Structure formats: structure tokens, C-alpha cells
Amino acid sequence: SNHTNGNGVTTNGNCSGGGNNDVFISVDRGDPKMYYTFWKNVDDKCTVTIKASELMSYFADLDQGGVFYQLPEFSAAVHQVHRVVGNAVTEGRYIIGGTGSSQLFTVALRALASTVNNTNTDNNLKKKRQIPVVCAEPFYSCYQEALEEEKSEIYKWQGDAKTFDEEGPYVEVVTTPNNPDGSIREPVVKKEGGLVICDLAYYWPQYTPITTPADYDVMLFTLSKATGHAGSRVGWAIVKDKEIAMRMIKLMSLITIGTCHEGQLRATKILEFVADSYAPLENGKLNSNGNAHVVEQPSEKFFEFSHRVLADRWKRLRAVVKRCGVFNLPEYSPEYCNFMNKNIHPNPAYAWMELKNGEDAEKLMNELKIQTRGGPRFGVSSKYTRVSMMECDDTFNQLLDRLSTLES
């Protein structure tokens, strides 16, 4: 049966009204609907069934040293997928699950800001300053929006990292590859007292070559952009420092008493399914037939599928953009991907489009009945707008049709 998700889209991944030129299409949000085709083919080979008698307790990890709400198999699946893909160091790190990485962003920020404030044991405790939070522009719009809405007393949004020059502790958010423009980033402030949250939502082989395992103090990943299961609301933080990890776990306990165990179980199944298709593991070792969970795999594996779809979409988008001559698109150089074992071109999750004549890009898109997210939301000029490359096929085809009607 098809349930609508409230956006006029059915959960079968197809879009309604996509063929009608009078209806707005939305490529505004980063809803990862392109992955539907892959998982539809997997069909019932990656299904979770849960009895009413299962997963009833608040507690999942009875070993009190762990994250009390986390299924041990979820942590194991996270380790396994990173080991297979090689995109992050997880050995000896704390894996802390959250309700999407959005929740973990706030939780990590609070943990970092209160740690900094606590170590600053001036005699004058009342003089605690709000910790500035910065990110190089163009930055992911939700960081600013979430922080300005929250109005926290311990930290405050301070915008572009490139122009930040205050003394004292601060937090820099590094999104790499970056949302919206797909660039590969490193911290830019590099001052004493700086702490980094590295948002690696898009550091997966379908979007960008995997050149090295990421190794930051606090790293965030999300199932939403890894496999496309955004509705499960599963993300995870990989944390080096014990004190920061303990603060994060305590906050998770206070805010929501952990996360939904059903979501963890589904994420576990999906991450294992993807990882097993490349390097079957059982207790860290191959079993006799070289297969751990003996699951029948589709002929085209997950990252090959998603890389192929995105590469094809980028090729088609570039051709249309070149023909109409109205927009600029960023260029990306190919690099050797240690996971794919070959040179590959980055295929970012978003197209960061710049209107050549300097006028309002989101407005022009609106005239074509294409809903996008304009530059000002990301801290930059309105001549830019962001287009999601992850929509369903119908919407993406409509996008190209409508862009093709433009002429310079």
C-alpha cells in the first residue's frame, strides 16, 4: 500500500503531478528519493520484522560502559560499514546514535560548549561567554536556522568562519563534502581554543572519491544520505574524547532517553546489507563460504548504483546548463577513490547554480515553477541557488525539461 508522506509524494518513491507543467516541482529539500529504485529491487531481502514483545526496554546495551540505549549490533554495523568503505576512523571511538544527525549536531554542540565553559574556570563564573559557532560560507542552512531558533545561552551562531577573528574558545563546523556547493573542506579558523564538529553526511563514494579515512574529534554521519533512509531518522556521531562522549550520552538521556530501537534495528539491517555486499564479515572474519549473513545480493551493488545514477544526472544537467548558457556550475576534478579503486569524478548531492547575469537565481527558478533554495539561506548572494540531485526520476526529468526552455 502507498502512504503519502505529506508532500504529495507517495512512499513508493514516485512523484505525483511531475508531468504537469503548471505544478511546481520541488528540488529544494535534500530528500533522498533517488535511492528508492535500488531498495525496491532488493525487495524483501532486507526486511525487518519486529514482534510486539521485542525491543520493549529503554535499555539496549546492558554493558553499562556503552551507550545504554544503543543496540550493540547497531554499533557493530556502523564499525563494519566504515571499515568496508574506509571513510572514517572508528577504532577506539565512541559511536553515539541519534534521531538523525540533526539531533546529534545540537547534542555535540552543547557537549563541546559546556566542556569549554567548564575548563574555563575563571574566578568569575558569571562571566561565561556564549561560545561562537562558525562555518565557512556557503554553509548548510539548517545550522544557522536551528541555532537562531534555539537562542542558547551557552553558544551562538556567528556566521562565516572566514571572517571570524575573536579570541577565546569557539566551535567550527566543517561540512565535507560541503552542502550546498560540494567542495572538499578543512577547518579554516585554526586558532587556539577551537573545537571542530565535522559533518560528513556526504562523505560516501556515490558523492565523492574516498581519499582518506576521516579522523576528527567529533564526526557526524547520517543514514539519510548514506543509504537514503531519511524517514528512519538515524544518524551517528563518532567521538574520540571520553568526556565529550559522556556528556553527549547524558544529554541524549535527558532529552529523549535515547533513540528509537526499531529505527536502530532497521539501520543495522540496511548497513549490514550494504557492507556485506562488498566484504562479508562475521565476528570480524570471513566465514567458510566467504559470506556472513548469506543474503542474496542484487547484481549491481549499492554504491555502484547510486554513483551511476548521480553521474548520469550530472552529465545530463551539465549538458542542459551548457546549452541554455544562463547558469554556471562548479567544476570538480577527478581523484583516486580508495573504495572504488579508480579515479572518479565527484557527483555532489546538490547542484550549486550561479546565475551569470548576477540576478536572483531562486526567483528565475520560481518562474519556471522549480522550487529551489536560494543563496541567502546559505549566507551568500541571491545569484546562487541550490538544486537537489537526489529527487525521484520524474522530478529530475521535469527539472531538465524546464531548464531546457531557458535561453540566454
Catalogue the E-assigned strands of 303-349.
Answer: 327-328, 335-337, 342-344
Beta bridge partners of 170: 194
With CB under 6 A as the contact rule, which of the stretches 41-49, 68-76, 94-102, 238-246 interacts with ligand PMP?
A: 94-102
> Contact at 8 Å (CB) between 118 and 110?
no
> Contact at 8 Å (CB) between 173 and 195?
no
- The smaller minimum CB distance to ligand PMP, of residues 327 and 350, is found at 350
Is the alpha carbon torsion for 294, 300, 303, 309 positive or negative?
A: negative
As given in the structure block, the three cell numbers for residue 158 are 556567528
Task: Show the site string, 12-41: x = touches ligand PMP by CB under 6 A, - = not.
Answer: ------------------x-----------
Under rule CB under 6 A, residue 230 binds ligand PMP = yes
Reduced to 3 states, what is the DSSP secondary structure of residue 337?
A: strand
Under rule CB under 6 A, residue 140 binds ligand PMP = yes
- The smaller minimum CB distance to ligand PMP, of residues 199 and 354, is found at 199
> Contact at 8 Å (CB) between 138 and 379?
yes
Nearest CA to 295 among 85, 37, 42?
42
d(CA 35, CA 306): 7
> Contact at 8 Å (CB) between 75 and 269?
no
Pick one of 102, 144, 259, 264: the residue that binds ligand PMP (CB under 6 A).
102
- Closest approach of Cβ 32 to ligand PMP, in Å? 9
Under rule CB under 6 A, residue 179 binds ligand PMP = yes
Under rule CB under 6 A, residue 227 binds ligand PMP = no
Pick one of 18, 97, 100, 187: the residue that binds ligand PMP (CB under 6 A).
100
CA angle 271-303-178, nearest 5°? 90
Site residues for ligand PMP, 203-222, by CB under 6 A, read 222
Under rule CB under 6 A, residue 235 binds ligand PMP = yes
Q: Please name the residues in contact with 339: beta carbons below 8 A apart, sequence gap of 6 or more.
A: 85, 86, 87, 205, 210, 303
Pick one of 28, 137, 172, 199: the residue that binds ligand PMP (CB under 6 A).
199
d(CA 305, CA 13): 16
With CB under 6 A as the contact rule, which of the stretches 100-108, 118-126, 131-139, 380-388 interacts with ligand PMP?
A: 100-108
Q: Please name the residues in contact with 136: beta carbons below 8 A apart, sequence gap of 6 or more.
A: 160, 161, 162, 174, 185, 188
- The smaller minimum CB distance to ligand PMP, of residues 105 and 281, is found at 105
Under rule CB under 6 A, residue 183 binds ligand PMP = no
Binding-site size, ligand PMP (CB under 6 A): 13
Q: Are strands 155-159 and 131-134 parallel, antiparallel or unpaired?
A: parallel
Where does residue 404 rank: exposed (0-12), middle (13-18), buried (19+ CB within 10 A)?
middle
- Closest approach of Cβ 350 to ligand PMP, in Å? 8
Integer angstrom CA distances of residue 392 from 15, 35, 221, 260, 371: 7, 8, 23, 27, 15
- Closest approach of Cβ 97 to ligand PMP, in Å? 11
- The smaller minimum CB distance to ligand PMP, of residues 28 and 276, is found at 28
Under rule CB under 6 A, residue 180 binds ligand PMP = no
Under rule CB under 6 A, residue 339 binds ligand PMP = no
- Closest approach of Cβ 103 to ligand PMP, in Å? 7
- The smaller minimum CB distance to ligand PMP, of residues 218 and 281, is found at 218
Residue nearest to ligand PMP (CB): 100
Q: Please name the residues in contact with 26: beta carbons below 8 A apart, sequence gap of 6 or more.
A: 7, 371, 391, 395
As given in the structure block, the three cell numbers for residue 20 are 504537469
- The smaller minimum CB distance to ligand PMP, of residues 179 and 206, is found at 179
With CB under 6 A as the contact rule, which of the stretches 95-103, 243-251, 294-302, 340-348 interacts with ligand PMP?
A: 95-103
- The smaller minimum CB distance to ligand PMP, of residues 131 and 201, is found at 201
- Closest approach of Cβ 403 to ligand PMP, in Å? 23
Under rule CB under 6 A, residue 391 binds ligand PMP = no
- The smaller minimum CB distance to ligand PMP, of residues 182 and 235, is found at 235
Enumerate binding residues for ligand PMP (CB under 6 A): 30, 100-102, 140, 175, 179, 199, 201, 222, 224, 230, 235
